[in-house]
Every structure is written in structure tokens, then in C-alpha cells.
RNA sequence: GGCGGCGUAGCCAAGUGGAAAGGCAAGGGACUGCAAAUCCCUGAUUCACCGGUUCGAAUCCGGUCGCCGCCUCCA
């Protein structure tokens, strides 16, 4: 499949370096607060990519996502509230894991905390000093940008340009204003660790280099995150990792676009944000995922409740098909059914869906075009509804196969995976009983009473629909 | 100032050299006791604007306008 690589600024054929296991690192959150809904975009987008790799490409994936539990934001919050950094971090780390579950995200293979890898970071810094790529100044350690000739290759920047437009506060300790902090001398009361340079804490994302190398080796297949991390964050990671090892740090750099709010990037500092858990509570996981995946992952996406409502409506059409077929054919068969018991007409219908499955894959293979992939699913839904409107007898068993296909294609997207039936044993039987009674009344044209049954069931959340195949309920 | 991106029907949104996907909304029709669901039909001579290249451009090149991101923590 092809993926757009920020490093080369074009789409390239992607295959894992060993041909079967994708080594993938996605930048995780700093746990000083709950995630806002914009933070969630890369989480969903790259979870989808991972699942597509696993389910449709046949590759294993080692998926690593860090948790940054020591940095300025945490320390500032600690100073504001008086609560220890470790307690704040623990609370929001839990919040983050809860969010992953709510979003239907597959658990990362590893979720290392930065503070678990301080010795490794110290080793990294030592190595950089030995290579002449870092220097000490009054207890701080800085990376010497001028020592890495390829600095700027990811973000397309040149050192000279950066120098001219630099808004970076000049520090008298730095040789060059662009040099960035690898190790920071701790002030009283701040979290600190012993090091050869005195007590301090890690600086500019030495953690990502150390953590990724620990779990994935020197060369990652994919390093991913939001596109606001391209510079300086990811540029600085390359400088550290490649400066030290001389090996390619990541073969593919993938970046998701920003979530916008009324034309501006959603961010905590602007205050134009909504907490992810609140949005999920209001709209549900599938709607949120559909909302994101109905726009190409690299483009900016406007957040709006109207957009989320539209996503909800779009999903409803597909979910209605699934629910109605489930009700007609029975939930138990549907969970595992492939429609193999159908007749020739039904088999012909299922065969006619295969080109759409191929189209779905072609779209996903093209830089994960989930928008086109969803269009393919919508076409399957249309075809299935058309078939459903005319087919009779055993041909209808093929509907099971169509639903299975929709579920299969929905898997990477995190859509249509609910398997639990709306029915529950005796409850199902009682509803069937009411339906039978109501249909007897309808035959006698006692519509006032039959409509009353339908209305009263509706108030209980049970919808009755009279079809050519009989009454179904959802 | 440097680097990068966006502008496609009423709305959302794919497509990036060879007949403008998909969804929503709107109108008409079918089915139905009613309802719900579904099906059929109706949409851009046109892709911000102006030039150019080409047999052919929404797609390539040049320019203009508007909007946004990064260059400071940031998904």
C-alpha cells in the first residue's frame, strides 16, 4: 500500500522492513489534563491504520505509544494546585486509558511512561556528548544543532532561515539559539533524578528516541503524530537518534491534520476546545470515529456539532440495515453467518459485492483514504437494500453474507462491530408475542388498538416495522 | 520573513492528466391500512480567479485573491 511520507513529501510504497511486522510508534499524550477532542484524531486515525495492517495486509504490528509523565506542564500544574506531579500524572494516565477503551482503540503493544526510562535517556545524552553533539552548560545539557548536517530535513527548514526568523528566546548558555535542551537542571521542589551532571530531568523528548529504540530497535517503520509535531519535536528526535546511531530513525513519518474550530486550530491555550470524553458521551464512539474518518486524515477538519450530527445520521442508515436484517434473520445466525446456505440468486448477489470490497481495499491502500473506503461501504449498503427489496425465500439468507462483509470492512474503522443482539431471551419472546397479537388485530382491521401497541412499545424504545417479510423490531 | 497546506453542488466530502465518487438536505414517484424502512427519478457543461502547456486539466506550470498550520508548549 502507499502512504504519504512527510520526510520525502510524496506517497511511497509501504512494506515493513522485515516484510511481516510493522514497528510503529505514535506520539502519546502529556498527562497533565484530560485529552480534548482534537487530541483524539491521531489516536483514531493511526488505530485504524494499525487494524488495517493487521486485518487486510496480514502484517503483525508492534504499536508503541508513550505516556509523558514529566514535563513543564505537569510541573506548572503541580505548582498551581500543590498536588504532586506523580499524582496528577497517575490520574490523567488513567483518564487516557479509559478514553482509549471508550474509543474502541486496540490496546497499544506497549505504553511506556517516560519516568520509567530515565537511565536510558541519560545514556542517550552521554552518547551524544561523546559524539560532540551535545554540551553541558551550568547543569543543563544542550543538543548542538550545528553538529548534525541533516538538521531540518523533515520539516524542510534550513538553519540559516531558522536563525533569521527565530522567535526563540536567546539563552546565554546556548552556543546557538536553535540548540535544544536535552537535560534540565532541576529547581527546588521539581521532580529530579541523579545524573553525571547533577540532579535534573529530561528535556526535549529524549523519551521518544529512547522508548522507541527499546521496544522497536534503531529503525522504526512508522513514526506518527499530529502535524504540529513536525517541527521542532520530530525534527529534534531525528537529530538525536540519527546523530547517535547514524541509522535511519524512521522510514515513514506520518502526520495527521489538525482539528479546527471555526477556522482555528483547536487548542487548550486558545480555549476553543471540548473534552474528548464529553463529546464521546454525547455522540457515542461510532459517531466520533465516523466523523474523523469521513475526512482524509492529513487534511484539516472542522469540528462542529452539525458535523457530528451528520455523521450520526450517516451511520444510522447502515446500522438500520444491520439491525433490520438481524431482526428478520435472527441474531444468532447473523453473528457468524456468511450466507452460505443461500441459493444461486443469493450467491450471485454476494459475488456482485466483491468488486466493492476490492474498491474498499484500493482506497485504503491509497494513503489510507478512509473517505473512499466509506463510500464503498455505502455502495454495498445501497446494493444490499436493493436486493433486500426484491429477494424472496432462501435468496434472503445472502443478507447475512452482506452484513458480514460490512462488518469486516468496518473493523479497521471501528464501525459496526457491535454483536450483542437487542434481544434477550424471554424479553424477545414477549415482544414476539405482542407482535403476533398485534398482527391478528391488524387482520381484523382493528387499527386503533394495533397502532396503540406499536406506539406504546415505541415509548419503551422498541420500534416495530411491518415489511413484506413480516413485522420486524429493533 | 522562512517552510507547508487548503479553496470541488445548499451543506459535508473523495478524486490530482482522459466521460465530476459517496453521504446529508430538497423536490417528484413507488411500496404501505397508517407509520417506519427501502427502492426509482431529479442535481456541478463545471472544480476560488486569470493566463499558459497539452489532442485532452479540477488535476501540470505561472500569477492573483481568500483562509489556515508550523517556526514558542501543542495531536
Q: Assess whether A155 (CB) lies less than 7 A from strand B.
A: yes
Q: Which of residues 313-342 of A touch strand B (CB under 7 A)?
A: 313-314, 317, 320-321, 324
Nucleotide nearest A367 (Cα, C1'): B14
User: Same domain for A267 and A387?
Assistant: no
Rounded CA-CA distance A402/A341 in Å is 13
Asked whether A380 and A386 are in contact (CB, 8 A), the reply is no
pLDDT of A421 reads 56
Q: CA–C1' span, A265 to B5, in Å?
A: 13
Query: Are A263 and A406 part of one and the same domain?
Result: no
> Residue A234, preceding bond cis, omega within 30 degrees?
no
A453: enclosing H helix or E strand? helix A447-459
Please give the Cα distance from A54 to A106 (Å, whole number).
11
pLDDT at residue A429, rounded to an integer: 87
Distance A239 CA to B65 C1' (A): 39
Considering all nucleic acid strands, name the nucleotide whose C1' atom is nearest to the C-alpha of residue A302: B12
Strand order across the beta sheet in which A140-143 lies? A134-137, A140-143, A181-185, A200-202
Residue A144 belongs to some domain of the structure: no
Domain with residue A9: its CATH number is 3.40.50.620
Domain count along chain A: 3
CATH number at residue A338: 1.20.120
The closest nt to A35, taking CA to C1', is B75
Q: How far is residue A443's CA from residue A67's CA, in Å, rounded to a whole number? A: 64
Residue A190 grid cell: 521539581
- The verdict on A44 and A103 lying in the same domain is yes
- Of A410, A434, A455, the one marking the end of a domain is A410
Q: Is residue A253 part of a domain?
A: yes
Distance between CA A42 and CA A46 in Å, rounded?
6
Domain shared by A82 and A222, yes or no = yes
Query: Do A293 and A371 form a contact (C-beta atoms < 8 A)?
Result: yes
- Give the β-pairing of A220-226 and A21-26: parallel
How high is the pLDDT of residue A330? Answer: 76
- Which of A302, A330, A363 is where one domain is finished? A302
Clarify whether residues A449 and A337 are in a common domain: no
What mean pLDDT comes out for the span A238-244? 96
From the Cβ of A366, is strand B under 7 Å away?
Answer: yes
- A33 contact to strand B (CB, 7 A limit): no
**Beta carbons of A382 and A357 less than 8 angstroms apart:** no
A18 and A106 assigned to the same domain? yes
Least confident of A78-87, A98-107, A166-175, A411-420: A166-175
How many angstroms from the chain centroid is the CA of residue A293?
A: 9
**pLDDT given for residue A332 in this prediction:** 55
**In angstroms, what CA-CA distances link A327 with A404, A437, A464?**
15, 18, 10
CA gap A53, A77 in Å, rounded: 39
CA of A66 to C1' of B19 (A): 49
DSSP string for A73-138 = HHHHHHHHH---HHHHHHHHHHHHHHHHHHTTPPPPSB--BGGGGHHHHHHHHHHHHHTTSEEEET
Domain range holding A336?
315-410
A190-208 burial, b if ≥16 CB within 10 A, otherwise e? bbbbebebeebbbbbbbbb
A202 or A338, greater pLDDT: A202
| Residues in contact with A82: Cβ distance below 8 Å, sequence separation at least 6, in sequence order | none
In a domain, A448, yes or no: yes
- Do A327 and A449 share a structural domain? no
Residue A277 covered by a domain: yes
Confirm whether any atom of chain B, the nucleic acid strand, is less than 7 Å from CB of A27: yes
Sorting pLDDT into bands at 50, 70 and 90, what band is A170?
A: low
A284 and A405, same structural domain?
no
Q: What is the pLDDT of residue A46?
A: 97
Q: Are residues A29 and A119 in the same domain?
A: yes
Q: Is residue A451 part of a domain?
A: yes
Nucleotides in chain B with any atom closer than 7 Å to protein CB: 1-6, 11-15, 21-25, 31-40, 67-75
The mean pLDDT of A219-226, rounded to a whole number, is: 96
pLDDT at A171: 62
Residue A155 CA to B70 C1' — how many Å? Answer: 9
Does the CB of A103 sit below 7 A from strand B? Answer: no
pLDDT at A131: 95
Residue A412 (CA) to nucleotide B8 (C1'), in angstroms, measures 28
Of A249, A277, A302, which closes a domain? A302
Whether nucleic acid strand B comes within 7 Å of the CB of A226, the answer is yes
Q: Quick check: is A161 in a domain?
A: no
Instruction: Identify the residues numbered 198 to 217 in chain A whose C-beta atom is closer than 7 Å to any atom of strand B.
Output: 204-205
Q: Measured from the CB, is A430 under 7 Å from any atom of strand B?
A: no
The percent of residues above 70 in pLDDT, for chain A, comes to 95
Q: A258 CA, B68 C1': separation in Å?
A: 10
List the one residue out of A418, A414, A369 whose CA is nearest residue A100.
A414
Split at pLDDT 50, 70, 90, the class of A422 is: low
Residue A20 sits in the same domain as residue A110:
yes
Q: Band of the pLDDT at A428, cuts 50, 70, 90?
A: confident
Q: Is residue A188 in some structural domain?
A: no
A302-339 pLDDT tens trace: 999 999 999 999 999 999 999 999 888 875 555 556 77
Task: Indicate whether A405 and A435 sit together in one domain.
Answer: no
Residue A136 domain-assigned (yes or no)? no
| Strand B proximal residues, A:258-277, Cβ < 7 Å | 258-260, 263-267, 269
Residues A283 and A326 in one domain: no
Amino acid at each position: 500500500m502507499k502512504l504519504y511520507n512527510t520526510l520525502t513529501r510524496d506517497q511511497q510504497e509501504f512494506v515493513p522492513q522485515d516484510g511481516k511486522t510493522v514497528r510503529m510508534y505514535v506520539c502519546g499524550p502529556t498527562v497533565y489534563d484530560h485529552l480534548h477532542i482534537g487530541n483524539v484524531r491521531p489516536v483514531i486515525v493511526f488505530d485504524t491504520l494499525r487494524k488495517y495492517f493487521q486485518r487486510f495486509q496480514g502484517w503483525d504490528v508492534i504499536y508503541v505509544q508513550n505516556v509523558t509523565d514529566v514535563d513543564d506542564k505537569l510541573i506548572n500544574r503541580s505548582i498551581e494546585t500543590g498536588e504532586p506531579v506523580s499524582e496528577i500524572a497517575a490520574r490523567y494516565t488513567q483518564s487516557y486509558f479509559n478514553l482509549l477503551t471508550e474509543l474502541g482503540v486496540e490496546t497499544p503493544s506497549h505504553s511506556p511512561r517516560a519516568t520509567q526510562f530515565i537511565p536510558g535517556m541519560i545514556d542517550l545524552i552521554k552518547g551524544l556528548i561523546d559524539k560532540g553533539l551535545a554540551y553541558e552548560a551550568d547543569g543543563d545539557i544542550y543538543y548542538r544543532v550545528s553538529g548534525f548536517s541533516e538538521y531540518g530535513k523533515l520539516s524542510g527548514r534550513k538553519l540559516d532561515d531558522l536563525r533569521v526568523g527565530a522567535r526563540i528566546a536567546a539563552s546565554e548558555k546556548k552556543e546557538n539559539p536553535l540548540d535544544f535542551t536535552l537535560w534540565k537542571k532541576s529547581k527546588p521542589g521539581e521532580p529530579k533524578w541523579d545524573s553525571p551532571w547533577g540532579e535534573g530531568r529530561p528535556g526535549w523528548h529524549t523519551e521518544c528516541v529512547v522508548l522507541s529504540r527499546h521496544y522497536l530497535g534503531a529503525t522504526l517503520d512508522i513514526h506518527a503524530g499530529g502535524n504540529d509535531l513536525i517541527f521542532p519535536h520530530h525534527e529534534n528526535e531525528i537529530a538525536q537518534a540519527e546523530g547517535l546511531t547514524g541509522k535511519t530513525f524512521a522510514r515513514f513519518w506520518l502526520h495527521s491534520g489538525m482539528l479546527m474550530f471555526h477556522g482555528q486550530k483547536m487548542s487548550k491555550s486558545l480555549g476553543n476546545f471540548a473534552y474528548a470524553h464529553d463529546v464521546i458521551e454525547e455522540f457515542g464512539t461510532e459517531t466520533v470515529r465516523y466523523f474523523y474518518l469521513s475526512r482524509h486524515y492529513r487534511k484539516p477538519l472542522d469540528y462542529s456539532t452539525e458535523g457530528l450530527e451528520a455523521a450520526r445520521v450517516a451511520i444510522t442508515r447502515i446500522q438500520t440495515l444491520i439491525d433490520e436484517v438481524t431482526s428478520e434473520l435472527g441474531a444468532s445466525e447473523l453473528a457468524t453467518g456468511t450466507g452460505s446456505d443461500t441459493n444461486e440468486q443469493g450467491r450471485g448477489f454476494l459475488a456482485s459485492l466483491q468488486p466493492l470490497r476490492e474498491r474498499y481495499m484500493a482506497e485504503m491502500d491509497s494513503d489510507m483514504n478512509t473517505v473512499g473506503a466509506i463510500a464503498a461501504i455505502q455502495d454495498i449498503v445501497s446494493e444490499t437494500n436493493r436486493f433486500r427489496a426484491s429477494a424472496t425465500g432462501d435468496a434472503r439468507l445472502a443478507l447475512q453474507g452482506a452484513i458480514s462483509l460490512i462488518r469486516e470492512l468496518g473493523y479497521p474503522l471501528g464501525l459496526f462491530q457491535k454483536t450483542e443482539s437487542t434481544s434477550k431471551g424471554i424479553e424477545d419472546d414477549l415482544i414476539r408475542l405482542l407482535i403476533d397479537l398485534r398482527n391478528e388485530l391488524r387482520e381484523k382491521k382493528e387499527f386503533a388498538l394495533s397502532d396503540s401497541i406499536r406506539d406504546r412499545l415505541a415509548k419503551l424504545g422498541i420500534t416495530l416495522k411491518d415489511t413484506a417479510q413480516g413485522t420486524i423490531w429493533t
